[in-house]
Structure formats: structure tokens, C-alpha cells
A and B are shown apart, each in its own frame.
Chain A
Amino acid sequence: MSLQITFWILATVAVSGALLAVRLRNLIHGVFSLMIFFGALAGMFLLLMAEFIAAVQILVYIGAVGILLLFAIMLTERVAEDGGRRISSRGSFWGMAAAIAVFVALLLPAIRQTDLPKTAQTVQPSVEKLGQQLMDPYVVTLEVMALLLTAALIGAVAVSQGGKPKNEDEPK
């Protein structure tokens, strides 16, 4: 019974957090509601007995991706001034129609018509098994992931540093 209540509370918080993140005009408020969404999702992972993933979700998304988004917003936008009427979204009616169409015509029938398993086995969360699985069958994926993250790190630094410095005393 309390599981049901927790699920509905977390679901409501997640959906409203996502909606607010997408619709708010003040971007900083949007990022914070996005973080509430991430937190609610971490709670859902805990409810589904995936503890390690819940911790990683908080660590990576709220602790790192959220802060990155905040810094990017501060570097690219003058958020504090609200002078003038800026259109923050165009065609939101058709966008909403498309999203609802995808939901109603594509996803909902897919869920309703599949034969879904009904009961859940008991799961003992254990990080040691996760580590063993990472090392034994999935070691190649782990190494590729490490390579990808290194490439992303180097790429992000290279892209954000800009090109060659301009030479100002060039004769025109």
C-alpha cells in the first residue's frame, strides 16, 4: 500500500518537474525543476530496487550535468534582464499535438498490446555482482565507455577553447 502511494507521489513530482522544465521562461528556474525531475527519477529507481543506479543518477545528473547546464546558461544568456517580449517557443500547439499523437498512437497501444510479465521476483541489490558482470562479460563495453568519455573530455576542452588567436596587427 505504501509502495503505491510512493509511486504516485514520485510520478507526479517527475511529470510536473519535466513539464515545468520544458515550459518555464526563466532558464535557471527551468534547470532547478529539471533537477527535481532527476531526483524524483532517482527515487523511482530506489523503489525498483536498483540502488546503485539511483546513486549514480544523483551523482552524475544532479551533481554534474545540472551544474554544467547552469554554467552554460550563465555563460550564454543574459537571463537577469527581462526587457522586451521575446518569443521563447513557436508553434507550441503543433508541438503538443505531435507529442500527444506519438503518445496516443504509438506508445500506448504498444504498451497495452504487449504481453507483460505480472510478478516481480525478489531482488537482492548487490554491487559486487554488478562489478563482476562489468569485468567478466561486459569488459569491452566498459573500455569503450572509458574511451568515449575521454574523447568527450578532450573534445569539449578543444571546442570551447576556440580557434587560433587572431593576429591584430596584420596589414590590411
Chain B
Amino acid sequence: MTLEHCLILSAVLFCIGLFGVLTRRNAIVVLFSIEIMLNAANLNFIAFWRYSENPTLLHGPLFALFAIAVAAAEVAVGLALVIAVYRHFKTVDLEKLDTLKEE
């Protein structure tokens, strides 16, 4: 289990999240995929910290902690927005939310 294995795993997870964001039409699934990407980045932080020269500085877990807090805040606000959009447009399909488009 070397650093390279962890990094490749986190890259694969990031790309899966990217695939989800680019492909799905439902706004909530896009939020899931963003969470997957953020988690992959956290894995990266912790892996790099573990193999660094001075792990007693604890920079990895600290950064991951802040990233988790920010991701949680973002999901909360994002879902509130999605619910507000649903109330107005009665759909969360991203292809149908095109009122800002020029005719």
C-alpha cells in the first residue's frame, strides 16, 4: 500500500465524480457527485500527510477537517436551493431549468 496506490484510487474516485457531474440531469445527483469529488480530495490530503516527513504537524487531518466542514455547509445550502427551485418550477431536471437562456 504505497502512496501511489492511494493517489491512483483518489484519482479514480475523482473521475467517477466528474462523470456524474457531467452526465446526470437530476440536480441532486450532481450534488452527490460533487461530494464524491470532495471526498476524493480529502483522501489525497490524508495520504500525502501520512507519507510526509513530519507527520506530527498534523497538517493533513486539519485540512481535511476544514474541507469536510466546508463541504457539509455547501451541501446544506445547495439542497436548500434545490428545494426552493423545486417549489417554483416543480422539477429538478437540469435540462428544463432554462429560463435564463436566450431564445
Contact = CB atoms under 8 A, between A and B. Distances in A.
Question: In their complex, do chains A and B touch, with some C-beta pair under 8 Å?
Answer: yes
Given A111-B4, A130-B61, 15 more contacts: A18-B17, A22-B19, A50-B61, A52-B61, A53-B64, A57-B42, A69-B75, A72-B79, A75-B83, A76-B83, A77-B92, A88-B24, A95-B19, A103-B12, A111-B8
Nearest to A111: B7
What are the 9 closest A-B residue pairs judged by CB atoms, nearest first? A95-B23, A22-B20, A152-B73, A99-B19, A156-B80, A95-B22, A107-B11, A76-B86, A159-B80
A149 B57 CA distance: 25
B64 A50 contact: yes
Given A123-B50, A148-B73, A107 B19 contact: no
B28 A73 contact: yes
Contact of B28 (A11, A72, A116, A133): A72
Contact of A65 (B35, B42, B81): B35
Of listed A18, A120, A160, residue having the most chain B CB within 10 A: A18
Interface of A: 3-4, 7, 11, 14-15, 18-19, 21-22, 27, 30-31, 34, 37-38, 41, 44-45, 47-50, 52-53, 56-57, 60-61, 64-65, 68-69, 72-73, 75-77, 87-92, 94-96, 98-100, 102-103, 107-108, 111-112, 116-121, 123, 129-130, 133-134, 138, 141, 145, 148-149, 151-153, 155-157, 159-160, 162
A145 B67 CA distance: 10
Contacts of A152: 73-74, 76-77
